[in-house]
């Protein structure tokens, strides 16, 4: 999995706790014992992650279904 959303749409988001802008970085996401590195926006300080709506409902839902049917 690489990148499944347009990061420019999410430029305005900052981590409210650390007050730093969210930045692109590798995040592992996993399901049913399978792990995938994905480029996501995250807080460089505390690691809070932003999963955009279109990715949750699109690619992630697709992968969940595929893994469940495996």
Binding site for other proteins (CB under 8 A): 12-17, 22, 27-32, 35, 46, 48-51, 53, 56-57, 60-61, 63-65, 68-70
CB of 1 vs other proteins, minimal distance in Å: 10
CB of 43 to other proteins, least distance (A): 8
**Whether 7 contacts 20, CB under 8 Å:** no
SS3 at position 17: coil
Contact 49, 29 (CB under 8 A): no
Q: Which is nearer to other proteins, 3 or 64 (CB)?
A: 64
């Amino acid at each position: 999995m690489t990148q499944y959303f347009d990061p420019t749409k999410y430029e305005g988001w900052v981590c409210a706790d650390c007050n730093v802008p969210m930045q692109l970085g590798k995040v592992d996401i996993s399901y049913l014992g399978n792990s995938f590195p994905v480029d996501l926006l995250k807080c460089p300080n505390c690691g809070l992650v932003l999963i955009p709506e279109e990715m949750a409902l699109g690619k992630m839902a697709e992968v969940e279904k595929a893994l469940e049917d495996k």
